[in-house]
Amino acid sequence: MKLVQNSWNLGDVISVNHSIPIKFIEAAGADNTENFIRLLARDVYSEADSQSLYDYLTGPDRQWGLSTEVFAFLRMWLEDELKHYRAIQRVYRAVSGVSYEYIEQQEADRVHEVEPINFVLNNEFTFLVALAFDEFGSTLSYRRDLQEYYRHYGPEVASVCQHLVRDEGAHAQNAIQLLIERHGHRLDEVEETLSQIIELEASLGRYCKTFFLDHAQEQDRFPPFFNEVVVQIILSRLGLADKPSGARVRETWNWKPVGQHLTPVA
Ligand SMILES: [Fe+2]
Ligand SMILES: [Fe+2]
């Protein structure tokens, strides 16, 4: 099967020593920059958490067979996610002034919990449904971040986020393709599985630092209908529902809490 990958070279997009011209920082305003730093301080590590998910899925603790196709996908996926980690590191350092040593130390100190999200790691089918849910969610989420934050800090920073959007979209599309090709006989279970994943995410109320369900840490930044749109996108890509309208999809990243000019990052 053909996997899709958005290919880009990090060094061509943003350099390791990138610094942001002061005019962009001034134009963005202090409020925007403070929120952006809080956002980057979270997202940088969530991207690095892909390694712990990969290690679990390819390690001795997994109790089920992993198909060659999904394994091939995971290798490509990890390469992208670790590139996202390095890309966001560069943006985070440039915007906030923290050092790479500090970021790497924080990353190394993280505790990754698998147990609470066991449900989504139980078999290949559920894993792929969760992956589609997570990656479509990330695609919409980075679109919002591009509009609210990344685009204000110069073309290099904006370009990083455009690649994040494309990569997460490609990951989601690959998850759909793998579901169709590897688990086509179980597509009628997708909707119910998505409901269970959403229930799990709501009941966790926190992010377990194993990549999946990281939107649990930022539910206030999304409109109440966010999950509904993600579910409809997935079902439509599987041929099980109509596509959500373009306007409805755009609302997921244009939405703001009442009285706010941006969705603040707690
Ligand atoms: Fe990513
Ligand atoms: Fe991704």
For residue range 95-131, list pLDDT tens digits in order.
Answer: 999 999 999 999 999 999 889 899 999 999 999 999 9
- Cα angle value 112/113/116 (rounded, 5°): 155
User: Cβ of 245: how many Cβ atoms within 10 Å?
Assistant: 11
* Ligand 2 centre distance from Cα of residue 171 (Å): 5
Q: How far is CA 105 from the centre of its chain?
A: 22
The count of domains in the chain is 1
* Ligand 2 centre distance from Cα of residue 170 (Å): 8
Q: Alpha-carbon distance 146 to 253, whole Å?
A: 10
How confident is the model at residue 92, as a pLDDT? 98
* Ligand 2 centre distance from Cα of residue 209 (Å): 15
Task: Give a yes or no: residue 10 inside a domain.
Answer: no
Task: Give a yes or no: residue 11 inside a domain.
Answer: no
Ligand of minimum distance to the alpha carbon of 83: 1
Residue 261 reports pLDDT greater than 80: no
Task: Give a yes or no: residue 265 inside a domain.
Answer: no
* Ligand 2 centre distance from Cα of residue 42 (Å): 15
> Which CATH number is 247's domain given?
1.20.1260.10
Q: Which residues constitute the domain of residue 228?
A: 21-254
pLDDT digits (tens, 9 = 90+) for 27-48: 999 999 999 999 999 999 999 9
* Ligand 1 centre distance from Cα of residue 168 (Å): 6
Task: Name the pLDDT band for 2 (thresholds 50, 70, 90).
Answer: confident
Task: Give a yes or no: residue 188 inside a domain.
Answer: yes
pLDDT digits (tens, 9 = 90+) for 188-243: 999 999 999 999 998 988 888 988 987 766 667 888 899 999 999 999 999 999 99
* Ligand 1 centre distance from Cα of residue 44 (Å): 9
Task: Give a yes or no: residue 80 inside a domain.
Answer: yes
Q: What percent of the chain has pLDDT over 90?
A: 81
Task: Give a yes or no: residue 118 inside a domain.
Answer: yes
How confident is the model at residue 85, as a pLDDT? 98
Task: Give a yes or no: residue 101 inside a domain.
Answer: yes
pLDDT digits (tens, 9 = 90+) for 45-85: 999 999 999 999 999 988 888 999 999 999 999 999 999 99
* Ligand 2 centre distance from Cα of residue 46 (Å): 10
pLDDT digits (tens, 9 = 90+) for 157-175: 999 999 999 999 999 999 9
Please give the model's pTM, rounded to 2 decimal places. Answer: 0.95
Task: Give a yes or no: residue 87 inside a domain.
Answer: yes
